[in-house]
Amino acid sequence: MNNQAREVMLDIQGLEVHFETRRGLARAVNDVDLQLYKGERFGLVGESGSGKTTMILALLRMIKTPGFIAGGRAVFDDGTDLLALSPEDVRKNRLRRVAMVPQGAMNSLNPVMRIGQQMALTMREHGEVGTGEEFEARVAKLLDQVGLVPEVADLYPHELSGGMKQRACIAQAISLSPRLILADEPTSALDVVVQRQIMQTLRQLQLQLGATVLLVGHDMGLMAQFAERVGIMYGGKLVEVGSVADVFRNPQHPYTQLLISSIPSFERRGTFQGIPGVGLSLLDSPSGCLFHPRCPQATERCAHVEPGLTQLGPGRQVSCLLYEKEETHAAPS
């Protein structure tokens, strides 16, 4: 990654997504601020229930009841706030500005329609016009970009391998040259060799299009290899942000530190380091810092004071009282 100042493409401020349940309100995304740069690969990491998937669904405006976006803004550099778009504009916006590469390619392709047909139909539905031949040529080009032969256009999804299906989904996602590609564990159902091929393809396309990719997942190895910057989520909060090298080599938040030391590697055999305690329940979250009941470095203050996001350096943030100056939270009398 280069050191030049990067332009912010999407500015997310105070994003809140809540779920109304019988047992109360769950804050699935809890006051998240995040800036995504133009043309970067950003990895959002978290365990199940951390809010990472909910966050990208919010950007796509695909949160369904009982969930709802309870606050915040997500403003593109041209002034468009994704969270304020009308339903009609949400649809227009998809694929053109924001596109999604889904987790299970199997469920997102229409099983009874040929690949080429569904790609052309999607483009037409999003306002593209042209003759049948023009669409055929566009489909062939898109397939070529993702490493598929043009004949794939005439096949049905079930005739493709898992990796080919995922490539077809990527071709669909980039069909209108989106500026932001959201990818939710796009390779979790694939074998590792195929995973590597798909991620390499996604990176090449991202570079070609100059798009920003927001990759969501829990595989720390994949994040380390694909992303340039990463954000760590815990219980709906963004707890740490930084360059991939900084976060992996010099993690600051106690949760990130434990998460990184819990990753199995080819360095250690017979030793196991987990994170103490049990995962968080969003319906019964602790006061103060959400991680304090499991945190080995927690102090008495952590049970009462909710940490804000502290700026540690350019593009480097952490949400932990260890890094906050006392006086910021001294109650005014």
As measured in angstroms, the least distance from the Cβ of 308 to another protein is 24
- Interface residue with another protein among 273, 287, 299, 328 (CB under 8 A) is 273
Contacting another protein within 181-210 (CB under 8 A): 191-197, 199-200, 203
Strands (E), the chain: 8-21, 24-37, 41-45, 67-76, 98-101, 180-184, 212-217, 229-234, 237-243, 310-313, 316-318
End-to-end CA distance of the chain: 47
- Interface residue with another protein among 51, 67, 163, 307 (CB under 8 A) is 163
Question: Is 248 near another protein (CB under 8 A)?
Answer: yes
Nearer to another protein, 100 or 222 (CB): 222
As measured in angstroms, the least distance from the Cβ of 160 to another protein is 9
As measured in angstroms, the least distance from the Cβ of 187 to another protein is 10
Question: Is 265 near another protein (CB under 8 A)?
Answer: yes
1 burial (CB, 10 Å; 0-12 / 13-18 / 19+) is middle
∠ at Cα 162 (156, 165), nearest 5°?
45
User: Token digits for 293?
Assistant: 């009941």
Contacting another protein within 56-85 (CB under 8 A): none
For residue 30, give every residue at least 6 positions away whose Cβ sits within 8 Å of its Cβ, in sequence order, or none: 16, 51, 235, 236, 237, 290
As measured in angstroms, the least distance from the Cβ of 76 to another protein is 27
How far CA 311 is from CA of 217, 252, 258, 303, 320, in Å, comes to 24, 12, 21, 22, 11
Among the residue ranges 263-271, 284-292, 298-306, 316-324, the one whose residues contact another protein (CB under 8 A)? 263-271
Question: Is 291 near another protein (CB under 8 A)?
Answer: no
Binding site for another protein (CB under 8 A): 47-48, 147, 161, 163-164, 191-197, 199-200, 203, 218-226, 244-245, 248-249, 258-260, 262-266, 268-275, 278-279
